[in-house]
Chains A and B, each alone.
Chain A
Amino acid sequence: MGNITSRFPNLITIPKLLWLLAGIVILIIPPISTTATITMVSRIMIFAVYAMAYDILRGYIGIIHLGFALFIGGGTYFVAILFANVGISIPILLLAIVGTTIYSIIWALIVGKIAAKSGLLATAMITMAFAEIMRNMMERWRTVTNGLDGLTFRVPAPFDNRTFMYYACFVFLLLMAFALYKFTTSPTGRVWQAVRENEQRAVFLGYDTNRARTIALLVSGVVAGLAGVMFALLNRFANTDVLAMQMTYNAMLYSLVGGSGSLFGSIIGSAVVVLFQNFLLDLRGVHFIFERWLIFFGSLYILVVIFMPKGIMGFVETIRERWKHKKGGKIYES
């Protein structure tokens, strides 16, 4: 008897089955897990959106934005400042979402202008400086942001419920993944890839590459900003760590581990990195050497870069091609 995929080739495929399985696992986690697990998976889903947004810049159009934390940090602080200083309600949350969107658009346009005038390296450096300026501002604006101590705040119902928040994160991940997928497979997405490969070639095909770059920055910035809103709702706390370089490095790490230039890779990368971080942290109780968990974490990063330079998705793709080749099939079908 043939297997189910061979009997219904167009209806059920292995990737579709895996997606279905992942969906089912995500849906049944809340009833069978602890609050800590629910919160951790929620965080993974938010970071997955953040990593996908970063991958639009790094993996699709080839911009290195070293101040990417500006966006997630902005979203987080919009929610935190409004909830801590103005009031706690759904209309205030909507105001924070609108504010975050406008803030992200402004930063995207500024960075777009800089990227049009400067080279890749200059853009990377200038964006890093912007994030540092913003972090410093939040640190010194103590009357509103409470400086280094950060802001603790409550969130409106139903977002104060961990299970509701979990499903909200899941819906947020699905919506953003769908929207970004649509962008990357649209003609605009193809131009992004052309710019990443060779900007001059894209130019003489008739594309305004500065415009394409600005669109990528707008899409990526707004999505990362919204991830910041969700991050604030989940953590109910905001301090300047969310604007620090580490936050940008995290996005890079998720995207690199999962596979640059693949939205699905960003989701996998976020899950693998966050789970591994948590695993190492848990090992601290087993042996004192794990107090220095960052050493192991750094080692994993080095191993990934050496042995899987294209990340997990690139590795899977290579295996798939080799397997096809071994079976005697053509790697590329005409």
Chain B
Amino acid sequence: MSLLKVENLVSYIGLFTILHGINMEIQAGEAVGILGRNGAGKTTFLRTVMGLVKTRSGVIELDGQSLVGKPPHKISQMGIALCPEDYGVFDELSISENLALAKHKDDTATQDRITYVLDLFPDLKLAYKRPARTLSGGQRQMLSVGRSLVNETQLILIDEPSKGLAPIVIEKMALALKEISKKSTILLVEQNFNMALAVTDRYYIIDEGRTVHNGIMQELANDKELQHRHLGL
């Protein structure tokens, strides 16, 4: 059984239908990229899975359990974590408080995961007591991703982690995500093709709110014509 199954998903914001038919299946342990042009509906798709955008019709299932109609906090408790493109950290709280706030349980396993996060992102350890507002874009992104690892998560949704970051930081982030993908299932929305290539094994392309293509990431990297047709590269 797939970890995440999406069938004929249609979702809307206000009067506008944004997603017109998304189909996707993700197995546990996979790292999958969601690619597409600006405004294709990639972010809306992640937000729909998270319950932040309303579903009109279709199926979204996590491990066989329907997510449609569930409030976002319940979906989070079911084991989905979201790292939004604006990082979603709490500016006035310190790194330690941001991580503490993400905890669903206060047990040894959670503490071990926080230790893992701090080992993965040493920058966070160095600035542990600093308010998030004083962090750089890269550090905020690390905090956002780190926070999604605090709980026992089944699926991590990451929205454009390379956005606005310097090339050296993007490289560090790609390495960290690759490391995370060894333990977790990742669904990565990314405009930066090289970043997506470095982190994910499979991809889906979304265009005008529909999944129009999917396949193996390495094959897409070798197919310039396909890249040009779907991604405008």
**Which residues of B (109-128) have their CB < 8 Å from a CB of A?**
126-128
Contact B72 A203 (CB under 8 A): yes
User: In the complex, what's the smallest C-beta–C-beta distance from B81 to chain A, in angstroms?
Assistant: 8
Cβ proximity bits A140-153 to B, threshold 8 Å, 1 near / 0 not: 00000000000000
Q: Name the A residues within 8 Å of B73 (CB-CB).
A: 203-209
Q: Does A191 contact B (CB under 8 A)?
A: yes
Contacting A at CB under 8 A, from B64-87, are 71-73, 76-77, 82, 84
Whether the Cβ atoms of A198 and B134 lie closer than 8 Å is no
Q: Interface size class for chain B?
A: 20 to 34
C-alpha gap A187/B110 in the complex (Å)? 15
Q: Which residue on chain A has the smallest CB distance to residue B93?
A: A193
Whether B25 sits at the interface, judged by CB under 8 Å, is no
Determine the residue in chain B with the shortest Cβ distance to A211. Answer: B73
B77 contact from A202, A206, A332, Cβ within 8 A: A206
The interface-forming segment of B28-36, B97-105, B192-200, B224-232 is: B97-105
CB distance from A262 to the nearest CB of B (A): 13
User: Is residue B158 contacting chain A, with contact meaning CB distance below 8 A?
Assistant: no
Given A193-B90, A193-B93, A194-B90, A206:B76 Cβ within 8 A: yes
Which residues of A lie under 8 Å from residue B126 when comparing CB positions? 334
A334 touching B128 in the complex, CB below 8 Å, given contacts A197-B92, A203-B72 = yes
CA separation between A187 and B101, bound complex, in Å?
7
Contact of B101 among A194, A200, A209, A333 (CB under 8 A): A194
List B contacts of A207 (CB < 8 A). 73
B93 close to A204 (CB less than 8 A): no
Chain A residues with CB under 8 Å of B77's CB are 206
Determine whether A58 belongs to the interface, using a CB cutoff of 8 Å to chain B. no
Which of A201, A203, A333 contacts B90 (CB under 8 A)?
A201
Contacts of B91 in A (CB 8 A): 197
- Within 8 Å CB of A201, what residues of B? 84, 88-90
Chain B residues with CB under 8 Å of A194's CB are 90, 93, 101
Nearest chain-B residue to A203 (Cβ)? Answer: B72
B182 at the interface (CB under 8 A from A): no
B30-58 contacts to A, CB under 8 A, are: 50, 52
B20 near A: Cβ within 8 Å?
no
Count chain A CB atoms within 10 A of each CB in B88, B90, B130, B134 and give the residue with the most: B90
Shortest distance between the CB of B67 and any CB in chain A (Å):
13
B131 within 8 A of A: yes
Give the Cβ gap from A205 to chain B, nearest Cβ, in Å. Answer: 5
A161 CB, min distance to chain B CBs, angstroms: 45
Q: How many residues of A contact B (CB 8 A)?
A: 20
Interface of B is mostly: loop
Does A190 touch B at the CB level, under 8 Å? yes
User: Is the pair A204, B97 in contact by a Cβ cutoff of 8 Å?
Assistant: no
**Chain B residue nearest in CB terms to A205:** B102
| A197→B93 CA distance, assembly (Å) | 9
Q: Within the complex, which residue of B82, B102, B131, B147 is in contact with A332, where a contact is CB–CB below 8 Å?
A: B131
| Contact present for A332 and B90 (CB under 8 Å) | no
Interchain CA distance A201-B72 in the complex, whole Å: 10
The CA of A204 and the CA of B91, in the complex, are separated in Å by 16
In the bound assembly, the distance between CA atoms of A280 and B160 in angstroms comes to: 59
**Contact pick for B88, options A190, A204, A209, A334, CB 8 Å:** A204
Query: Per-position contact with A for B127-171: 1 when CB-CB < 8 Å, else 0?
Result: 111110010000000000001000100000000000000000000
In the bound complex, residues from chain A placing their C-beta under 8 Å from that of B127 are 332, 334
User: A72 to nearest B CB, angstroms?
Assistant: 29
CA gap between A186 and B84 in the complex, in Å: 26
Chain A contacts with B in 111-133, Cβ cutoff 8 A: none
Q: Return the chain B residue nearest A191 by Cβ.
A: B101
Residues of B within 8 Å of A204, CB to CB, are 50, 52, 72-73, 76, 82, 84, 88
CA–CA, A17 to B128, complex, Å?
Answer: 29
A200 near B134 with CB under 8 A, answer no
When distances are taken between beta carbons in the complex, the residues of chain A under 8 Å from B104 are: 206
Q: How far is the CB of A325 from chain B (nearest CB, A)?
A: 13
Are the CB atoms of A190 and B72 closer together than 8 Å? Answer: no
A residues contacting B by CB (< 8 A) are: 187, 190-191, 193-194, 197-198, 200-209, 332-334
Chain B residues with a Cβ under 8 A of chain A: 50, 52, 71-73, 76-77, 82, 84, 88-93, 97, 100-104, 126-131, 134, 147, 151
- Residue contacts A-B, CB under 8 angstroms, 16 given: A187-B100, A190-B93, A193-B92, A202-B101, A203-B73, A203-B76, A204-B52, A204-B73, A206-B73, A206-B151, A208-B71, A332-B127, A332-B129, A332-B134, A334-B126, A334-B130
Across the A-B interface, give the 4 residue pairs with the lowest CB-CB distance, nearest first. A206-B76, A332-B130, A203-B72, A201-B88
Additional A-B contacts beyond A198-B90, A332-B130 (12; CB < 8 A): A190-B101, A193-B90, A193-B93, A194-B93, A197-B91, A197-B92, A198-B88, A204-B50, A204-B52, A204-B88, A206-B77, A332-B134
